[in-house]
Amino acid sequence: MNTTAKKILIVSANPKDTNTLRLDEEKREIQTALKRANNRSLYEIVTSEATRVDDLLRALLDDKPSIVHFCGHGEGTEGLALENDLGQTQLVSTQALASLFKLLQEDVECVLLNACYSEAQAVAIHQHIDCVIGMLKAIGDQAAIKFAVGFYDALGAGESYDNCFEFGRASIDLEGIAESDTPVIKIRRRSYHTKLLAETAKAMPVNSLTNNDDMRSDRSVGQNRSISVGGSVTGSAMITGDTA
């Protein structure tokens, strides 16, 4: 094991009382993207499945990840859905998440919330973490997976986090899915972006995205990554935050 590798913690939760999501596929695609990358030695993936609040705390403390990737359900300003001891939904509030990541700002560089209506959490966490990605509105399962594919393909090729975000959006577009305006990024460019590029400067870039045939339409079966959020939110992807 490369002790200098940055850890990516994939946190997943699909409580029994929520719609079934293709979270195993998302994790597999992330692992595949980094396994095939020129810079695969720079990253180590650790996972937390059927995640409860205690599981999240322990994983963050034990693994000290540089990147935290959440995949599952969101419920807007109410928070993100983890599981309780019975496997049912336990919402973690936006404020609680912000307070948690305040304690982790020395280790965590990037948080990716691949869940519906998670912009509220992205804004709150961004008070303490320089790069946070959330979803402006509901996002379908297929779009969420393709965003992850593009993001981690680019990360494995040595791209900065803001470029990885754009590759994620491009991956959605390339599949002909009209949801590339759903992901939003909140970012302050700090020294680690320069360090990341320096670490990968000697590697040959990966010039193509991974494309996987998927005949299942998540829109047709209503598999959005939200629990029960009413109304419609519109907007486009944006980069916010201070730059340096």
pLDDT at 31 over 70: yes
- Residues 15-37 have a mean pLDDT of 96
- Residues 231-238 have a mean pLDDT of 37
Least confident of 61-75, 91-105, 138-152, 226-240: 226-240
Nearest to 184 by CA among 121, 91, 97, 103: 121
- Residues 146-159 have a mean pLDDT of 97
- The pLDDT of residue 15: 98
End-to-end alpha-carbon separation of the chain, Å? 34
- The pLDDT of residue 189: 77
What digits encode the pLDDT tens for the residues 36-63?
999 999 999 999 999 999 999 999 999 9
Other beta carbons within 10 angstroms of residue 50's beta carbon come to 14
Q: 160, 214 in Cβ contact below 8 A?
A: no
- The pLDDT of residue 224: 75
Mean pLDDT of the chain, nearest integer: 85
Residue of higher predicted confidence among 50 and 237: 50
**Domain residue limits, the chain:** 6-240
Indicate the pTM of the whole model. Answer: 0.80
DSSP assignment of the chain equals: --TTSEEEEEEEE--TTS----HHHHHHHHHHHHHSSTTGGGEEEEEE-S-BHHHHHHHHHHH--SEEEEEE-B-GGG-EEEE-TTS-EEEE-HHHHHHHHHTTTTT--EEEEESTT-HHHHHHHTTT-SEEEEESS--BHHHHHHHHHHHHHHHHTT--HHHHHHHHHHHHHHTT-TTTTSEEEEE-B-HHHHHHHHHTTTSPPP-S---------TTTTT-BSBSS--S-------EES-B-
> Which one of 2.120.10.30, 3.40.250.10, 3.40.50.1460, 3.40.50.620 gives the CATH number of domain 6-240?
3.40.50.1460
Q: 160, 197 in Cβ contact below 8 A?
A: yes
- Residues 143-160 have a mean pLDDT of 97
Least confident of 82-86, 106-110, 204-208: 204-208
- The pLDDT of residue 160: 96
